Structure 1
Amino acid sequence: MINIKSIHHILRLALFTSVIFACLLCQSQAFGKEQITVEDFRGKTVQVPVKINRVITISDGLIEGVMTRLGEAHKIVALGSQCIPRVWTYDIPNKNGGSFPYKEGMNTITYLNPNFKNLPLVAKFGVGISYERVAELNPDLIIIRTGSCALNQGRDILDKTIGLLDSLGVPLVVLHGPNATPDPGIESISREIRILGKIFQKEDQALALAQYLASCVMMVRERTEGIVPDQQKRLLLLGLSPKARTQGGAGHVKGVDTLQTYFLEQVIRAKNAFTGPGAWNILNTEQLLALDPDLVVLVTAWGYHPPEELYFAPYYEGLQEMRAVKNKAVVALPWTPCNCEKRLEYPIDIMVMAKAAYPERFKDINLNQWLLDFYQTVYKVDKKTADELLSRQWMGWVRKE
């Protein structure tokens, strides 16, 4: 005869077991929903948590800029570039006495996120990554961008770096800047933006941002269509680098295998006056004079370099014999500290170069208004803030147009 108490005990046990099983099943399903699958530039599938509160970034501003646009920058707990928290001041000497002052220059995202100045650094150019510090900060996610100054490394070293970060057991998303790819182009930047949009579940906003940047490029490309090779201007991408001067040269020049040359050839329909490869070639005065470009474009190179430096600095008297310098055919790109890879402001470079090379094709474009519209659209800020961003990139000269 079956004991009634035993039956009740068995039933209670069965019920308890079924409840536990159901709870485990619900937890398992919930756990699956708490992660997002992202494929990074390695082709690796990364499981990223849905709820992200602590992010460590290693880039010169692209990742942080996109996160700013998406409203996620407050989640960054550490940075991987010493150029993001810094504020710069320069006094460009004048051979006639006095100087040209440039003050309060900074990365656009630093102006938009003043708290970045107080965040710890887990990586610096020439120093490497502090893996212990990364672990101590207990991040939910690490996002890095190869090609950035702190990760501008050879393939073997870079693979080791990524492997060590992976070994920390924290989800790691790896992006590649254009110059870190075999064939530099802007398509990879759009892909980076879209991946970041997926990570933070704001894919529509990220797509809109990528499409706007692409539309800026397309507008320039359409206006320069039909410029045949014989009519194309020869531009020299020159960095008036003090580092180059200490090594016996006059400056650095960008080669034909860089993203900057892609801008020239594929978008602006111009030519690079320097036909060699490499991103930081050191040339002396005689070599630069021999190139005889139609237009000199001054890029960020171990500091900011305005046209006044080339026109008036006593240490560039030799270069002042260049035809482009005598014709005042010199233009400066925006101040871009840690200029190892391009970030969200790259269409500004394209527009500045295109308008300087072919002014008749862009005569209806007022650079001051175009820049204000650009900053307002990219970062969703008001006109006053956009004007401040223009100043922080030392583009105030456009107000004189």
Structure 2
Amino acid sequence: MGKYNKIIAIVAVLLITFSFLGCTQNLNSPQKSSTKEIVDMRGVTVTIPSDPQRVVIVDKGFILQSMVAIGVQDKIVASGGMLSSTNEKADDRDSLYLFPKILELPNIGYTFGGFNFETLISAKPDLVLWANSEYIKDNEITKEAMKKIETELKIPLVVINTPGAYDNPTMEKQYEGLMIIGKVFGKEKRAQEIINYTKSQIEMIYNRTKDIKDSEKPSTMYLGLRNDDSVGVVWGKNYGDAKFAEEVANIKNVYNEPNRQIMSAEQIIALNPDVIILATNSVLPDINILSTNSKYSSLQNVNAVKNKRIGSLGLLTWWGDFKLDYPTIMLISAKTVYPDKFKDIKVNKWVNDYHKKLYGLNDEQSQRLKEIQLLAWMDSNDF
């Protein structure tokens, strides 16, 4: 019996020892935190879930397309700013085509039209990702909505400033925003891959145009056609749809002011641009419209129209947001203005390859995306 008691005592000591060692090991083992800190583009340090699962985006496309390219789009549970009406279809715009599920998700509204905070709350988000642009950054509704989300609803808010939100937009802000999105989802490696790829395309454009002398630069107008009595909106130097044109492609903007201006035919005739690049507005940007539509008959002697030096960005720009197609916008602009510098590049084929690498699309999908972006004109014109 004494021998049996000794065995029990030894076993008990061993159990206590192993339990103690186990506790010590647990104390010394690093514990995975349920939260992490992100410094957003306001310079604000935001505590967010380490692995966000229910994300609401306030966006015009950059955040959504970045999430698709990174592979985390299924974490979106509601959106604001992505939908213009309840009748939209996936084939209406590139972002909707890339993530058609967004058409079925709750819409919390936008700065213009106001926000529905009950819809936001009902989505039960653990994070709000907000893209700020030149068109909403100073709006009181924007400021009040951000304040309410952070201070009243206590939902973590990470703000991505698109480049236009700054007085001097630069391409580096595009990359910075993409990397912050990568950090939010723990996908820094994939974000860096996208940055490296897009940056290589931007550098290619820059290197081909950087040494062009001022005397060799044709004057260029970025024009969005309208349905009213004016001809359209003209985007000035480094603003809106004309962002980065000088920085990346050495393009001389005929309208030198850093703003957007609604212009009549008389004003456009007075500026007499050598090249016109059509961008998104209420009239679809068809490269033939200025020479075939009688509404624009007064523009026939404008150099760009007379010499048929017109390009189109299709629907790539929406509310000034270049989304992930900023290299495409720059390449179309650069080849339209300096065709001899890009004779070896067929942009219609280049853009299909670009979308395949970015989003993992197949041939049919990348071609359809190009058509939705109203860039099929490049196929018919062998551009």
Q: 1:56 to 1:388 in 2, by over 3 A?
A: same
User: For 1:127 and 1:135, how far apart are their aligned partners in 2?
Assistant: 18
What CA distance in whole angstroms lies between the structure 2 residues aligned with 1:261 and 1:153? 18
User: What's the CA shift for 1:29?
Assistant: 7.0
For 2:210, what is the secondary structure of its paired residue? coil
Which of 369, 373, 376 is the matching residue for 2:353? 373
1:350 corresponding residue in structure 2: 330
Paired amino acid for 2:61: G
Answering whether residue 366 of structure 2 is matched by residue 386 of structure 1, we say yes
Which of the residues 252, 265, 285 maps onto 1:285? 265
Q: State the shift of 1:336 in Å.
A: 3.3
Q: For residue 130 of structure 2, what is the amino acid of its counterpart?
A: I
CA distance in 2, matches of 1:345, 1:69: 12
Give the drift of 1:157: 4.5
1:390, distance to aligned residue in structure 2 (A)? 0.9
Q: Where does residue 11 of structure 1 map in the other structure?
A: none
Q: Tell me the distance in 2 between the aligned counterparts of 1:336 and 1:262.
A: 13
Q: Note if 1:255 corresponds to 2:236.
A: yes
**2:70 paired residue number:** 70
Which string of whole-angstrom CA distances, capped at 9 and with x for unpartnered residues, describes residues 290-334 of structure 1?
Answer: 111110000001342212222222222222332211211111103
2:256 maps to amino acid:
T
Q: 1:113 to 1:156 in 2, by over 3 A?
A: closer
- Going from structure 1 to structure 2, the CA distance change for 1:219 and 1:84 (only over 3 Å counts) comes to farther
Contact between 1:68 and 1:109, CA under 8 Å: does it hold in 2? no
1:179 matched to 2:160:
no
How far does residue 52 in structure 1 lie from its aligned partner after superposition?
Answer: 2.1
Q: Is the 8 A contact 1:310 1:325 kept in 2?
A: yes
The DSSP-based 3-state class of the residue aligned with 2:179 is helix
Which gives a bigger RCO, structure 1 or 2 (Cα 8 Å, sep 6+)? 1
Instruction: List runs of 5+ in structure 1 lacking aligned partners.
Output: 1-14, 90-103
2:238 and 2:245 in contact (8 A); partners too:
no
Query: Are the counterparts in 1 of residues 51 and 186 from structure 2 also a CA contact under 8 Å?
Result: no
Aligned to 2:9: none
Once the two structures are overlaid, the 10-residue window that deviates more, 250-259 or 136-145, is 250-259
Out of 355-364 and 314-323, give the one that drifted further: 314-323
Distance 1:136 1:88 in 2: 23
Match of 2:130 in 1: 144
Distance change (3 Å), C-alpha of 1:148 and 1:120: farther
> Alignment length, in residue pairs?
359
Q: In the alignment, which residue of structure 2 is the partner of 1:44?
A: 44
The answer as to whether partners of 1:55 and 1:141 remain within 8 angstroms in 2 is yes
2:95 aligned residue (100, 106, 109): 109
Runs of 4+ in 1 over 4 A off after TM superposition: 84-89, 259-262
Q: Which residue of 2 aligns with 1:55?
A: 55
Q: Indicate if the aligned counterparts of 2:278 and 2:314 stay in contact, CA closer than 8 A.
A: no
Deviation at 1:86, TM superposition (A): 7.4
Which stretch shifts more, 177-186 or 109-118? Answer: 109-118
Deviations 1:177-213 (A, max 9, x none): 1111121011111011101111111110001101111
SS at match of 1:68: helix
SS of match in other structure, 1:371: helix
1:107–1:336 CA contact under 8 A, matched in 2: no
1:123 aligns with 2:109: yes
Identity, in percent, stands at 28
Q: CA RMSD in A?
A: 2.5
Q: CA deviation at 1:284?
A: 0.8
CA deviations 1:210-253 (Å, max 9, x no partner) are 111111110000011210111112110011022xx2xx422100
| Deviation digits for residues 13-40 of structure 1 (CA, Å, limit 9, x no counterpart) | xx9xx99xx79x97x974x612121110
Q: In structure 2, the residue corresponding to 1:33 is in which secondary structure? A: coil
How much has 1:173 moved relative to structure 2?
0.4
The answer to whether the 8 A contact 1:83-1:338 is kept is: no
Quote the residue 1:10 is aligned against: none
Alignment partners' CA distance in 2, 1:359 and 1:88 = 36
Aligned residue type for 2:296: Y
CA distance in 2, matches of 1:303, 1:335: 11
Alignment gaps of 5+ in structure 2: 1-15
CA distance in 2: counterparts of 1:355 and 1:165, whole angstroms: 44
SS at match of 1:222: helix
Relative distance call for 1:105 and 1:303 in structure 2 (3 A) is: farther
SS of the residue corresponding to residue 253 of structure 1 reads: strand
Cross-structure match for 2:175: 190
Decide whether aligned partners of structure 1 residues 257 and 395 sit closer, same or farther in structure 2, where only a CA change above 3 A counts. Answer: closer
TM-score (norm 1): 0.83
